[in-house]
């Protein structure tokens, strides 16, 4: 039987091997190292990956890992055995479809009729207990990010964790602690951090090309689902769906299909509404362009929020507006608007607008419009973000969106939700990460959430 001590030893020696190989290769080729250099056929050279939460976003993420020749997806995990009804009725996802996708892909790659090397789990703790898994991709609902990250870090896995980093500010601080204590690599899923266009746009802003930035507008999309209204009735839990493990640390609640797959984002027990969903992209860009990655605003103010009728299943605000102010006077306004425009920086001498999930950006005055920023219409930075993560797993260097960056960006989303929930103007001490002044007791009580007794890490 494998003890935790020899598991640790095995993991460490395997990691050292990966790192040594990367370091040796880096002398000749400092940036991207194709799998062939490592000997793709050598299992000891591959980064073994387990994918946890293979739904709407987890499946495309899994496909991004499959495409990287120097890693091998050896396991998938989902509390849903397999069903349709994710974002759209025809979206079939879950652990069985995900395993089939892995097996189909590798069978095609190896030109063999069958491939059986991917295991499927219901309980992520079984996946994390495996010695041979180096890294995990986490794309469960937001309420799972913190417990899974902490457990994965303790199990010695590197982590690609979907955005927003966590459900609460306090929870995210615990994630940082776990990642740093166990010396893991964590890439937050705000993939625009690996998008060269967004990088250029943010560098342009920070270079002073548009003068002093006075205001940044960060857009979040409105609800794209309505859900059942007041008087909705619970439904029986479908076969093959482990609802208790889906809820995990969240409060006990009657099952309804619109509570779970994809739609969890519209419920405050599992997510922060569209503010965290989109803000982890647009506010993340704002933070990057403002050069505020290791700090945050000093004030946050509720401006406006609208909700579905009381008693509806979805309780997150449908339309929102909040304002933050930084110590240097810059203002960040985050509101419900067309999400294909992500972020607009208004400077004293010009403007930079990042569009289309970072596929484009525009800058005025036209003289500073970068020349090479056209014609990449189908580009999605998710692939580069996964590649960056795997490179950092090898080199042990910081990824494009490390845990602290994910934390600071998601913190602003949580601050917005707290101010909106309290309908208040609040003072935030970004050093101690606590509210101070009026209503601070109320606001500080929302930095963490109670965990259901059923769930024990």
Ligand X SMILES: NC(=O)c1ccc[n+]([C@@H]2O[C@H](COP(=O)([O-])OP(=O)(O)OC[C@H]3O[C@@H](n4cnc5c(N)ncnc54)[C@H](O)[C@@H]3O)[C@@H](O)[C@H]2O)c1
Nearer residue to ligand X within complex by CB, 144 or 314? 144
Least distance between ligand X and beta carbon 308 (Å): 20
- Which residue in the block uniquely carries the two structure tokens 């401006």? 303
Tokens for 226? 């309505």
Residue 118 pairs in a beta bridge with: none
Dist CA 91 CA 85 (whole Å) = 6
CB burial of residue 131 (10 Å; 0-12, 13-18, 19+): middle
- If one counts every other C-beta atom within 10 angstroms of the C-beta of residue 239, the result is 7
Task: Select 84 or 108, whichever has its Cβ closest to ligand X.
Answer: 84
Residue 46 or 385: which CB sits closer to ligand X?
A: 385
Residue nearest to ligand X (CB): 55
325 burial level (CB within 10 Å; 0-12, 13-18, 19+): middle
3-state per-residue secondary structure call for 373-397: CCCCCCCCCHHHHHHHHHHHHHHCC
Contact criterion met (CB below 8 Å) for 343 and 354: yes
Alpha carbons 129 and 131: distance in angstroms, whole number: 6
Q: How far is the CB of 381 from ligand X (least distance, A)?
A: 9
- Shorter beta-carbon distance to ligand X: residue 248 or 347: 248
Of 281 and 323, CB closest to ligand X: 281
Beta carbon of residue 350, minimum distance to ligand X (angstroms, whole number): 29
The CB-of-225 to ligand X minimum distance in angstroms stands at 11
Nearer to ligand X, 281 or 430 (CB): 281
Least CB distance from residue 269 to ligand X, whole Å?
13
CB of 318 to ligand X, least distance (A): 17
Question: In terms of CB distance, is 23 or 457 closer to ligand X?
Answer: 457
CA-wise closest residue to 225 among 87, 59, 337, 93: 87
- For ligand X, the binding residues (CB under 6 A) are 52-58, 77-80, 86, 93-94, 124, 139-142, 144, 162-163, 189, 191, 245-246, 248, 261-262, 264, 277
- Comparing CB distances to ligand X, the nearer of 56 and 312 is 56
Is 153 in contact with 134 (CB distance < 8 Å)?
Answer: no
Provide CB contacts within 8 A for 157, sequence distance 6+: 50, 128, 133, 134, 135, 136, 184
CB of residue 412 to ligand X, shortest distance in Å: 16
Least separation in angstroms between residue 293's CB and ligand X is: 18
Q: Which of 169, 106, 121, 171 is nearest to 145 (CA)?
A: 171
Which is nearer to ligand X, 80 or 409 (by Cβ)? Answer: 80
Rg of the chain in Å (alpha carbons): 22
* Shortest distance, position 138 Cβ to ligand X, whole Å: 8
**Nearest-approach distance from CB 233 to ligand X, in angstroms:** 21
Q: Which is nearer to ligand X, 57 or 359 (CB)?
A: 57
d(CA 274, CA 372): 32
Asked if 111 and 286 touch (Cβ cutoff 8 Å), the reply is no
Q: CA distances (Å), 257 to each of 131, 185, 194, in order?
A: 35, 35, 34
- CA-to-CA distance for 74 and 184, rounded, in angstroms? 20
């Amino acid at each position: 039987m494998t003890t935790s001590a020899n598991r640790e030893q095995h993991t460490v020696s395997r990691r050292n091997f990966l790192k040594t190989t990367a370091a040796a290769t880096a002398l000749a080729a400092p940036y991207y190292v194709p799998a062939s250099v490592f000997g793709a056929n050598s299992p000891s050279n591959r980064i073994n990956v387990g994918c946890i939460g293979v739904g709407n976003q987890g499946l495309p993420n899994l496909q991004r890992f499959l495409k990287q020749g120097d890693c091998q997806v050896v396991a998938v995990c989902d509390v849903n055995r397999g069903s349709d009804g994710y974002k759209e009725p025809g979206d079939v996802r879950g652990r069985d479809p995900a395993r089939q996708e892995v097996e189909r892909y590798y069978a095609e790659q190896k030109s063999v009729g069958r491939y059986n090397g991917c295991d499927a789990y219901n309980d992520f703790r079984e996946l994390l207990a495996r010695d041979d898994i180096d890294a995990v991709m986490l794309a469960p609902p937001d309420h799972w990010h913190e417990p899974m990250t902490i457990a994965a870090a303790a199990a010695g896995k590197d982590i690609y964790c979907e955005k927003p980093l966590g459900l609460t500010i306090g929870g995210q601080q615990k994630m940082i602690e776990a990642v740093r204590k166990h010396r893991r690599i964590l890439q937050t899923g705000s993939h625009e951090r690996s998008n060269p266009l967004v990088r250029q746009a943010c560098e342009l802003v920070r270079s002073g090309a548009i003068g002093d930035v006075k205001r940044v507008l960060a857009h979040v999309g409105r609800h794209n689902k309505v859900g059942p209204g007041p008087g909705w009735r619970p439904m029986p839990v479908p076969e093959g769906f482990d609802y208790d493990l889906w809820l995990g640390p969240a409060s006990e609640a009657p099952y309804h299909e619109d509570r779970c797959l994809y739609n969890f984002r519209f419920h405050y027990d599992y997510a922060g509404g569209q503010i965290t969903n989109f803000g982890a992209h647009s506010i993340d860009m704002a933070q990057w362009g403002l050069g505020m990655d290791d700090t945050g605003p000093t004030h946050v103010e509720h401006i406006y929020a609208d909700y579905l009728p009381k008693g509806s299943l979805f309780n997150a605000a449908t339309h929102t507006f909040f304002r933050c102010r930084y110590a240097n006077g810059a203002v960040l306004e985050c509101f419900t608007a067309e999400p294909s425009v992500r972020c607009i920086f208004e400077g004293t001498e010009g403007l930079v607008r990042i569009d289309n999930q970072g596929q484009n950006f525009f800058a005025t005055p036209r003289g500073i419009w970068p020349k090479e920023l056209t014609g990449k219409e189908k580009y999605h930075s998710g692939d580069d973000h996964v590649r960056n993560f795997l490179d950092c797993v090898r080199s042990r260097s910081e990824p494009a969106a490390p845990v602290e960056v994910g934390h600071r960006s998601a913190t602003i989303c949580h601050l917005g939700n707290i101010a909106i929930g309290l309908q208040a103007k609040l003072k935030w001490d970004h050093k101690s990460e606590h509210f101070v002044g009026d209503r601070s007791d109320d606001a500080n009580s929302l930095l963490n959430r109670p965990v259901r007794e059923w769930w024990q890490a």
